[in-house]
Amino acid sequence: MMGDAFVKLTDEDRSEMAKQMARHWTVVEDLKAKKARDSKATQEDIDEELEEIGRLCRVVNADGETRDQLSLTFDQVQAAEKLAELYRRAECTPVDDRWCAVHGACTCNQETPDVHDPACALHGVDAAHAKDAPLPEPAGIPSEDDEIQATSRAFVDWLTGTVPESVNHTNRLLTEFFQLTEVPQKRRGRVRKAAKALLGDAPLPPAGAGAGDPAEDEADDVARETPAGDAA
Protein backbone atom coordinates (compact mmCIF):
# COMPACT_ATOMS: atom_id res chain seq x y z
CA MET A 1 0.00 0.00 0.00
CA MET A 2 1.52 3.25 -1.14
CA GLY A 3 1.36 6.40 1.04
CA ASP A 4 1.37 10.09 0.24
CA ALA A 5 4.59 11.71 -0.86
CA PHE A 6 5.60 15.33 -0.33
CA VAL A 7 6.51 17.03 -3.62
CA LYS A 8 8.57 20.18 -3.40
CA LEU A 9 7.42 23.08 -5.60
CA THR A 10 9.56 24.14 -8.47
CA ASP A 11 9.96 27.81 -9.38
CA GLU A 12 7.65 27.23 -12.34
CA ASP A 13 4.97 25.68 -10.10
CA ARG A 14 5.22 28.56 -7.64
CA SER A 15 4.90 31.15 -10.44
CA GLU A 16 1.87 29.41 -11.95
CA MET A 17 0.09 29.18 -8.57
CA ALA A 18 0.78 32.87 -7.91
CA LYS A 19 -0.89 33.69 -11.25
CA GLN A 20 -3.87 31.51 -10.31
CA MET A 21 -4.20 33.29 -6.95
CA ALA A 22 -4.18 36.65 -8.73
CA ARG A 23 -6.92 35.49 -11.10
CA HIS A 24 -9.06 34.20 -8.23
CA TRP A 25 -8.53 37.46 -6.33
CA THR A 26 -9.70 39.46 -9.37
CA VAL A 27 -12.83 37.30 -9.59
CA VAL A 28 -13.53 37.87 -5.89
CA GLU A 29 -13.16 41.66 -6.31
CA ASP A 30 -15.48 41.60 -9.32
CA LEU A 31 -18.08 39.56 -7.42
CA LYS A 32 -17.87 41.91 -4.42
CA ALA A 33 -18.41 44.89 -6.70
CA LYS A 34 -21.37 43.17 -8.39
CA LYS A 35 -22.89 42.35 -5.00
CA ALA A 36 -22.58 46.00 -3.94
CA ARG A 37 -24.16 47.25 -7.19
CA ASP A 38 -27.02 44.76 -6.95
CA SER A 39 -27.60 45.67 -3.31
CA LYS A 40 -27.65 49.38 -4.11
CA ALA A 41 -30.04 48.94 -7.05
CA THR A 42 -32.33 46.75 -4.96
CA GLN A 43 -32.36 49.33 -2.15
CA GLU A 44 -33.26 52.08 -4.63
CA ASP A 45 -36.18 49.98 -5.89
CA ILE A 46 -37.30 49.39 -2.30
CA ASP A 47 -37.08 53.13 -1.53
CA GLU A 48 -39.16 53.97 -4.60
CA GLU A 49 -41.86 51.47 -3.64
CA LEU A 50 -41.89 52.80 -0.07
CA GLU A 51 -42.33 56.35 -1.38
CA GLU A 52 -45.37 55.25 -3.40
CA ILE A 53 -46.79 53.40 -0.38
CA GLY A 54 -46.32 56.58 1.66
CA ARG A 55 -48.15 58.65 -0.97
CA LEU A 56 -51.06 56.21 -1.01
CA CYS A 57 -51.19 56.23 2.79
CA ARG A 58 -51.47 60.01 2.77
CA VAL A 59 -54.32 59.85 0.25
CA VAL A 60 -56.14 57.22 2.34
CA ASN A 61 -55.63 59.19 5.57
CA ALA A 62 -56.93 62.37 3.91
CA ASP A 63 -59.85 60.42 2.41
CA GLY A 64 -59.10 61.92 -1.02
CA GLU A 65 -56.60 63.85 -3.11
CA THR A 66 -56.47 67.03 -5.17
CA ARG A 67 -56.74 66.45 -8.92
CA ASP A 68 -57.27 68.62 -11.96
CA GLN A 69 -61.02 69.02 -12.51
CA LEU A 70 -60.92 68.53 -16.27
CA SER A 71 -59.10 65.23 -15.82
CA LEU A 72 -61.93 64.06 -13.58
CA THR A 73 -64.78 65.07 -15.89
CA PHE A 74 -63.73 65.27 -19.56
CA ASP A 75 -61.08 64.01 -21.88
CA GLN A 76 -59.53 66.61 -24.21
CA VAL A 77 -62.15 66.19 -26.94
CA GLN A 78 -65.05 66.45 -24.51
CA ALA A 79 -63.49 69.50 -22.87
CA ALA A 80 -63.19 71.23 -26.26
CA GLU A 81 -66.83 70.45 -27.03
CA LYS A 82 -67.92 71.79 -23.66
CA LEU A 83 -66.02 75.04 -24.21
CA ALA A 84 -67.65 75.40 -27.62
CA GLU A 85 -71.06 75.33 -25.92
CA LEU A 86 -70.09 78.11 -23.52
CA TYR A 87 -68.35 80.62 -25.82
CA ARG A 88 -68.39 82.12 -29.31
CA ARG A 89 -67.21 79.99 -32.17
CA ALA A 90 -65.32 80.97 -35.28
CA GLU A 91 -68.47 80.42 -37.39
CA CYS A 92 -70.63 82.74 -35.25
CA THR A 93 -71.99 85.93 -36.84
CA PRO A 94 -70.93 89.33 -35.37
CA VAL A 95 -72.07 89.88 -31.79
CA ASP A 96 -74.63 92.61 -32.68
CA ASP A 97 -76.32 90.56 -35.42
CA ARG A 98 -79.92 89.43 -34.99
CA TRP A 99 -79.26 85.90 -36.14
CA CYS A 100 -76.47 83.33 -35.73
CA ALA A 101 -76.12 80.02 -37.52
CA VAL A 102 -74.79 78.51 -34.30
CA HIS A 103 -77.00 80.08 -31.62
CA GLY A 104 -80.22 80.93 -33.47
CA ALA A 105 -82.31 84.10 -33.64
CA CYS A 106 -82.31 87.19 -31.42
CA THR A 107 -85.38 87.59 -29.20
CA CYS A 108 -84.59 91.11 -27.96
CA ASN A 109 -87.09 94.01 -28.45
CA GLN A 110 -86.59 95.08 -32.10
CA GLU A 111 -87.86 98.60 -31.42
CA THR A 112 -85.28 99.20 -28.67
CA PRO A 113 -82.05 97.61 -29.92
CA ASP A 114 -80.06 98.65 -26.86
CA VAL A 115 -82.41 96.82 -24.49
CA HIS A 116 -81.64 93.13 -24.47
CA ASP A 117 -83.85 90.28 -23.42
CA PRO A 118 -82.09 88.52 -20.48
CA ALA A 119 -83.12 85.18 -21.97
CA CYS A 120 -81.95 85.97 -25.53
CA ALA A 121 -79.69 83.25 -26.90
CA LEU A 122 -77.55 85.87 -28.66
CA HIS A 123 -77.49 88.87 -26.30
CA GLY A 124 -78.96 87.72 -23.00
CA VAL A 125 -77.26 87.11 -19.68
CA ASP A 126 -74.43 84.60 -20.11
CA ALA A 127 -75.26 84.14 -23.80
CA ALA A 128 -72.51 82.06 -25.39
CA HIS A 129 -72.84 84.05 -28.66
CA ALA A 130 -71.52 87.21 -26.95
CA LYS A 131 -68.80 85.64 -24.80
CA ASP A 132 -65.25 85.25 -26.01
CA ALA A 133 -63.39 82.18 -24.78
CA PRO A 134 -60.82 82.91 -22.05
CA LEU A 135 -57.16 83.08 -22.91
CA PRO A 136 -55.30 79.78 -22.67
CA GLU A 137 -54.07 78.87 -19.22
CA PRO A 138 -50.33 79.18 -18.56
CA ALA A 139 -48.28 76.06 -19.09
CA GLY A 140 -49.36 73.36 -16.70
CA ILE A 141 -47.45 72.39 -13.60
CA PRO A 142 -44.76 69.87 -14.57
CA SER A 143 -45.39 66.29 -13.58
CA GLU A 144 -43.36 64.62 -10.84
CA ASP A 145 -41.46 62.60 -13.46
CA ASP A 146 -40.53 65.85 -15.25
CA GLU A 147 -39.30 67.33 -11.98
CA ILE A 148 -37.25 64.21 -11.20
CA GLN A 149 -35.52 64.43 -14.58
CA ALA A 150 -35.00 68.19 -14.27
CA THR A 151 -33.47 67.79 -10.80
CA SER A 152 -31.13 65.03 -11.95
CA ARG A 153 -29.99 67.18 -14.89
CA ALA A 154 -29.46 70.08 -12.49
CA PHE A 155 -27.20 67.81 -10.40
CA VAL A 156 -25.11 66.89 -13.45
CA ASP A 157 -24.85 70.59 -14.38
CA TRP A 158 -23.87 71.36 -10.78
CA LEU A 159 -20.91 69.02 -11.16
CA THR A 160 -19.55 71.51 -13.77
CA GLY A 161 -17.92 68.76 -15.76
CA THR A 162 -16.37 66.94 -12.81
CA VAL A 163 -16.63 63.16 -13.14
CA PRO A 164 -17.14 61.44 -9.75
CA GLU A 165 -14.19 59.28 -8.78
CA SER A 166 -16.30 56.34 -7.56
CA VAL A 167 -19.81 55.23 -6.71
CA ASN A 168 -19.22 56.40 -3.15
CA HIS A 169 -18.07 59.80 -4.42
CA THR A 170 -21.29 60.11 -6.46
CA ASN A 171 -23.35 59.29 -3.37
CA ARG A 172 -21.57 61.95 -1.30
CA LEU A 173 -21.97 64.56 -4.05
CA LEU A 174 -25.68 63.76 -4.33
CA THR A 175 -26.10 64.15 -0.57
CA GLU A 176 -24.38 67.53 -0.69
CA PHE A 177 -26.54 68.59 -3.65
CA PHE A 178 -29.72 67.54 -1.83
CA GLN A 179 -28.76 69.60 1.20
CA LEU A 180 -27.92 72.68 -0.87
CA THR A 181 -31.05 72.54 -3.02
CA GLU A 182 -33.47 71.15 -0.42
CA VAL A 183 -34.73 68.37 -2.67
CA PRO A 184 -37.80 66.82 -0.96
CA GLN A 185 -36.92 63.66 0.92
CA LYS A 186 -39.59 61.62 -0.89
CA ARG A 187 -37.96 62.30 -4.27
CA ARG A 188 -34.32 61.70 -3.39
CA GLY A 189 -34.31 57.98 -4.17
CA ARG A 190 -35.67 58.55 -7.68
CA VAL A 191 -33.35 61.51 -8.27
CA ARG A 192 -30.38 59.33 -7.26
CA LYS A 193 -31.37 56.70 -9.80
CA ALA A 194 -32.00 59.24 -12.59
CA ALA A 195 -28.75 61.12 -11.90
CA LYS A 196 -26.70 57.93 -11.95
CA ALA A 197 -28.38 56.96 -15.22
CA LEU A 198 -27.24 60.29 -16.71
CA LEU A 199 -23.72 59.60 -15.46
CA GLY A 200 -23.85 56.02 -16.69
CA ASP A 201 -21.67 56.67 -19.74
CA ALA A 202 -18.75 57.63 -17.48
CA PRO A 203 -17.24 54.39 -16.08
CA LEU A 204 -16.67 54.43 -12.34
CA PRO A 205 -13.97 52.49 -10.46
CA PRO A 206 -15.29 49.31 -8.81
CA ALA A 207 -16.62 49.52 -5.29
CA GLY A 208 -13.97 48.87 -2.65
CA ALA A 209 -11.18 50.62 -4.55
CA GLY A 210 -9.90 52.67 -1.64
CA ALA A 211 -13.34 53.37 -0.19
CA GLY A 212 -16.03 51.73 1.93
CA ASP A 213 -18.82 49.57 0.65
CA PRO A 214 -21.17 51.78 -1.46
CA ALA A 215 -24.29 50.20 -0.05
CA GLU A 216 -23.11 51.10 3.46
CA ASP A 217 -22.09 54.58 2.39
CA GLU A 218 -25.44 55.19 0.72
CA ALA A 219 -27.24 53.95 3.80
CA ASP A 220 -25.24 56.46 5.82
CA ASP A 221 -26.18 59.21 3.33
CA VAL A 222 -29.87 58.35 3.59
CA ALA A 223 -29.61 58.29 7.37
CA ARG A 224 -28.06 61.76 7.39
CA GLU A 225 -30.77 63.04 5.02
CA THR A 226 -33.65 61.60 7.06
CA PRO A 227 -34.96 64.05 9.68
CA ALA A 228 -35.18 62.84 13.26
CA GLY A 229 -38.43 61.03 13.90
CA ASP A 230 -38.88 59.81 10.30
CA ALA A 231 -36.97 56.59 10.84
CA ALA A 232 -40.09 54.84 12.04
> Residue 40 domain-assigned?
yes
- For residues 183 and 146, membership in a common domain is answered with yes
What is the average pLDDT score of the chain? Answer: 74
Q: How far, in whole angstroms, is CA 148 from its chain's centroid?
A: 3
**Domain annotation covers residue 230:** no
Domain that holds residue 123: 88-130
102 within a domain of the structure (yes/no): yes
Q: What is the 3-state secondary structure (H, E, C) of the chain?
A: CCCCCCCCCCHHHHHHHHHHHHHHHHHHHHHHHHHHHHHHHHHHHHHHHHHHHHHHHHHHHHCCCCCCHHHHHCCHHHHHHHHHHHCCCCCCCCCCCCEECCCEECCCCCCCCCCCCCCCCCCCCCCHHHCCCCCCCCCCCCCHHHHHHHHHHHHHHHCCCCCCCCHHHHHHHHHHHHHHHCCCHHHHHHHHHHHHHHCCCCCCCCCCCCCCCHHHHHHHHHHHHCCCCCCC
The candidate with the shortest Cα–Cα distance to 86, out of 97, 98, 74, is 74
Residues 169 and 210 in one domain: yes
71 found inside a domain: no
Q: How many domains is the chain built from?
A: 2
41 domain-assigned = yes
Q: Clarify whether residues 104 and 152 are in a common domain.
A: no
Out of 75, 103, 130, a domain closes at 130
Q: Are residues 163 and 215 in the same domain?
A: yes
Q: Report if residue 1 sits inside a domain.
A: no
* pLDDT confidence bin for 14, thresholds 50/70/90: confident
Residue at which a domain ends, from 80, 100, 130 = 130
166-216 pLDDT, tens digit per residue, is 888 888 888 888 888 888 888 888 888 888 888 874 444 444 433 344 444
Structural domain includes residue 51: yes
pLDDT in tens, 86-114: 788 888 888 888 888 888 888 887 776 67
